[in-house]
Structure 1
Amino acid sequence: MNKQIQVKNPKTMAFILMLGAFLGLFSETALNMALTNIMEEYTITAGTAQWLTTGYLLVLAILVPITALLMKWYTTRQLVIGGLVISLFGGILAALSPSFTILLLGRIIQAIGTGLILPVMTTVLLIIFPVHKRGTVMGLMGLVITLAPALGPTLSGLIISALDWPYIFWISSLLYVLLTFYAIAKISNVSEITKPKIDFVSILFSTVGFGGLIFALSTMAEEPFSSPKVWGTLVAGIIALILFSARQLTMKQPMVNLRVFKYPMFTLGTLMMFLGILVILSTAILLPLYLKGSLLFTAVVAGLILLPGNAVNFILSPIVGTLFDKWGPRVFVITGSIILVIGNIIFTTVISSQTPIWQIIVAFMVLFFGLTMVMMPSQTNALNQLPRPLYADGSAAMNTLNQVAGAAGTAIAITVFTSGQSGYLISFPDASEPEFLAAGVKYAFYFITGISVVGLICSFFVKRPGVSENAAKVTVEEIVSVRN
């Protein structure tokens, strides 16, 4: 069940998939450093501007579970090349956008392309590499998942300062062109085409469920919870998700096989990933606003301030991946969770309109030191417990929840940030803009710290699943249903 498929150039395929995913995940946060510029250019509020990030993540959350079904209808080459071409089109449209609406449309199209590539990457890497090499491979994939959205504000800050924010899209579009031609030449087909029946009711429930949930959380930044636009869409989303889950558990050929959550380490690892993505995306949208709006740094300086933390992630990820094969997940996940809590406590302690910059740099480095030790081991350990017939479903479930986490984290962070500013202005009505903006960011970091504490509690239950456990827990009926 866990035997890999032999391909001519597995490392080349891995490179193409990881770079494609990197560009897509980089796009999640690439505009965060440009939000103040975009808000000024289009005369919009922070709550509206955050839809450029939240909308992107919302589309991913809707599309990723559908991609699990598409992988059984279309070849690996079709999905990868199609995803790259769609992302390219979205990037060009966003670069040429004459209005905020067209810019948001370009972002949505970009997200569709990324939503095709992400689940394919995870599933293919699990298939083409043997179990004993997964720690190293998943370490590199973990680097992509964490570094890309974290590096978005840094690289975009450099681009904005040297050129202008539309060049974020022009540069990524150029890379998509080059990568598309490389993919045409090198990507092999490794997926098994079974063409199961398409259940449009499941697609409807999934779309309404995830869409309603994220829309409600995002709208809370500008509307009170008593607004029907908030509670109405939230209730509709929750009901749709309950119906979606119930339907998947009763279907012989589910769109997303929720039986993957019968595996305790997969469930726990997915939860750890969910919490980690919440922290990453919340931080990625808050810190650029803080550095530019409160500490009054330029985009390029603000980007460079975040660079040491990204460097920690870049250096540590492959090391953790290599050592994971020898040491297992527990030591990394527990230690990393403790460090993550410490990093967030530092942020809640030092953030103000007068904070010395070295304190922000140190806090961000500590934060990513912990995140790097948590993310890859959690993901690899989770997927290692699944038998091969459930790889695609496990990948789809995990990636879907990761995108929901990113969208929810971004939306809640902006909502808490806005609430923190309002509360501070009530207490200090004469406060300057840098002061109440810093207060809002500090308030939001209390939320992020709470999330990291939940992750720390979960980390104590992580253990490495045995091979026999993998084989024993999948039933014949489950394997047959997935293969058909």
Structure 2
Amino acid sequence: MKQFNTRAIMASLLICGFVGMFSETALNIAMTNLMDVFQISAATAQWLTTGFLLTLGILMPMTGLLLQRFTTRQLFISSLASSIVGTIIAALAVNFEMLMVARVLQAIGMGLLIPLMFNTILVVYPPDKRGAAMGFVGLVIMFAPATGPTVAGLLIEYLTWHYIFWLSLPFLVIGLLVGLKYLENVTEVTKPRIDLLSVVLSTLGFGGVVFGFSKAGEGGQGWASSLVVASIGVGLLALVLFSLRQSLMKEPMMNLRVFKYPMYIVGLLLVLSCTMIILSSMIILPMFLQDSMKLSAFDTGLMLLPGSALNGILSPRMGRLFDKYGPKWLVIPGLVIVAAMLWFFASMSTVSSIVLIVALHIGLMVGISMVWMPAQTNGLNQLPPELYPHGTAVMNTLQQVAGAIGTAVAISILSSGMENYLHDSAAPTNPNEIANAMALGSQHVFLFAMIVTLIGLALAVFIRRVVVNHAANHSMH
């Protein structure tokens, strides 16, 4: 096996991944501020997030193909060029349109970088070291969104939102320079044919589903809106045609043979349930803290910091435990902890103590760290090397879709809970009643997340450690 400078390769990928994830969540805290500055409605501001997710949803399915058509360095440089240009435009943005273009460029950068990161780990690290390496990716994926709101809260309070991007820029440049020096081409370029019909169907399919669910979550008519129904309908139809097309092709754009591997499926489903749990609770909790408990954005960021930081710090540790003991002893207890925390969250009210909420959030994040990376690594380990790009593409794409669905469902449950409460209330405009309505809606969302967790727990019973025997595979080919 070829020796790589794994430290330097990982460092460059992780720095860039961190900055990308950071600016994604930092902007969420700035939304109210941007609505004032640009004189735009909440629905328009929402596009800064929806557009980002849509770009990822459209680009991710193609990454399996791109990873085989271009060298690692080519993809890395394109990804960073897109991120850096996007970040500069965002830092200089004077209107909504400019910022929107910047977000799409940043999303293209992230959409190329994340699959590249997973694929590089699978190629560069031997199976017995992968858990720990994947844990570092977990650190970045969880830690960046955790620090985003806190740092952004400070920047907005003392400077302007532009500094979110000025702060990110030097790190992207450093990541690019380290990558240019040390990143080697780790994958073989096989130049598969690009099938235009697959590209169109995948764009319509994943794009339509992500767009439909994002729109539904924005409020307004919600699920009843004809645009939502049409785009989810068209999306699902395109996905069915896309899947049929892939199964008939000799060199599919997204190889669905990955679904022949049972542990990959279990791992994938557990990762998707984690995505839905994290996203539904990560959207509702800050809203609850700010609207029901009347805390500032900065205080909210600080309260959520210990849990998210701990999740990030524990990820590599969980990865090492996984390398040693396999997934079962981490995943099942992890899900039990998550379910217990969500059960307590579901009884929160406007008078709950801040200490309790911070403690529950820490418990929730520790539980998630025990499930996410072990399930993901175990699943990917079962795939033969030639399916790595496809396995990561399928997983990353479906995570975007699960994220959009989780967010939309959470917001719908929250709104309907609030409406029902205020409908029966004697003083529906009273701020205290609105805060109570928010608390009730939030409780429903946490119950929904708990049900998702219990389904995950039922699945986790089937998880088995994958013993990687790729030495045999290599001698056969």
- Number of the residue aligned with 1:363: 360
Cα distance, 1:267 vs structure 2 = 0.9
Cα distance, 1:375 vs structure 2 = 0.4
- Identity across matched positions, percent: 45
Is 1:354 matched with 2:355?
Answer: no
Task: Give the counterpart letter for 2:31 in structure 1.
Answer: L
Question: Could you tell me which of 182, 188, 192 is aligned with 2:184?
Answer: 188
Q: Which is worse superposed, 328-337 or 142-151?
A: 142-151
State the Cα deviation string for residues 176-198 of structure 1 (Å, max 9, x = none).
12222222222111121111110
Cα distance, 1:47 vs structure 2 = 4.5
Q: 1:359 to 1:38 in 2, by over 3 A?
A: farther
* Residues in 2 aligned to 1:285 and 1:164: alpha-carbon distance in whole angstroms: 23
- Number of the residue aligned with 2:446: 445
Q: 1:89 to 1:392 in 2, by over 3 A?
A: same
* Residues in 1 aligned to 2:453 and 2:149: alpha-carbon distance in whole angstroms: 22
Matches within 5 A, 1:161-310: 161-220=157-216, 221-310=219-308
Task: Give the counterpart letter for 1:288 in structure 2.
Answer: P
- Number of the residue aligned with 1:36: 32
Task: Give the counterpart letter for 2:113 in structure 1.
Answer: I
State the SS of the aligned residue for 2:69. coil
Cα distance, 1:343 vs structure 2 = 1.5
Matches within 5 A, 1:431-470: 431-432=430-431, 433-467=434-468
State the SS of the aligned residue for 1:98. coil
Matches within 5 A, 1:41-440: 41-220=37-216, 221-350=219-348, 352-428=349-425, 429-432=428-431, 433-440=434-441
* Residues in 1 aligned to 2:154 and 2:455: alpha-carbon distance in whole angstroms: 35
Task: Give the counterpart letter for 1:348 in structure 2.
Answer: A
Q: How many residues align?
A: 470
Q: 1:286 to 1:88 in 2, by over 3 A?
A: farther
Cα distance, 1:208 vs structure 2 = 0.6
State the Cα deviation string for residues 344-373 of structure 1 (Å, max 9, x = none).
1121111x3333211210111011011000
* Residues in 2 aligned to 1:251 and 1:422: alpha-carbon distance in whole angstroms: 49
Task: Give the counterpart letter for 2:463 in structure 1.
Answer: V
Cα distance, 1:463 vs structure 2 = 0.9
Q: 1:286 to 1:43 in 2, by over 3 A?
A: farther
* Residues in 2 aligned to 1:163 and 1:312: alpha-carbon distance in whole angstroms: 28
TM-score of the pair, normalised by structure 2: 0.93
State the SS of the aligned residue for 1:463. coil
* Residues in 2 aligned to 1:423 and 1:469: alpha-carbon distance in whole angstroms: 56
* Residues in 1 aligned to 2:247 and 2:449: alpha-carbon distance in whole angstroms: 33
1:59, 1:112 within 8 Å by CA — same for their partners in 2?
Answer: yes
1:74, 1:193 within 8 Å by CA — same for their partners in 2?
Answer: yes
Cα distance, 1:340 vs structure 2 = 0.8
Q: Which is worse superposed, 451-460 or 98-107?
A: 98-107
* Residues in 1 aligned to 2:62 and 2:457: alpha-carbon distance in whole angstroms: 32
Which runs of 5 or more structure 2 residues have no equivalent in the other structure?
none
TM-score of the pair, normalised by structure 1: 0.91
* Residues in 2 aligned to 1:45 and 1:293: alpha-carbon distance in whole angstroms: 19
* Residues in 2 aligned to 1:290 and 1:348: alpha-carbon distance in whole angstroms: 12
Q: 1:252 to 1:289 in 2, by over 3 A?
A: same
Cα distance, 1:168 vs structure 2 = 1.4
- Number of the residue aligned with 1:12: 8
Task: Give the counterpart letter for 1:353 in structure 2.
Answer: T
Q: 1:142 to 1:149 in 2, by over 3 A?
A: same
Which runs of 5 or more structure 1 residues have no equivalent in the other structure?
480-484
State the Cα deviation string for residues 249-269 of structure 1 (Å, max 9, x = none).
110000011101110000110
Cα distance, 1:91 vs structure 2 = 1.9
Cα distance, 1:50 vs structure 2 = 3.4
* Residues in 2 aligned to 1:285 and 1:96: alpha-carbon distance in whole angstroms: 28
Alignment RMSD = 2.2
Q: Which is worse superposed, 74-83 or 311-320?
A: 311-320
* Residues in 2 aligned to 1:193 and 1:426: alpha-carbon distance in whole angstroms: 61
Cα distance, 1:468 vs structure 2 = 5.3
State the Cα deviation string for residues 80-130 of structure 1 (Å, max 9, x = none).
121112111212222333333332332121100000111111111111111
Task: Give the counterpart letter for 1:405 in structure 2.
Answer: A
1:330, 1:463 within 8 Å by CA — same for their partners in 2?
Answer: yes
Task: Give the counterpart letter for 2:453 in structure 1.
Answer: S
2:140, 2:312 within 8 Å by CA — same for their partners in 1?
Answer: no
1:33, 1:289 within 8 Å by CA — same for their partners in 2?
Answer: no
* Residues in 2 aligned to 1:234 and 1:187: alpha-carbon distance in whole angstroms: 40
Q: 1:231 to 1:340 in 2, by over 3 A?
A: same
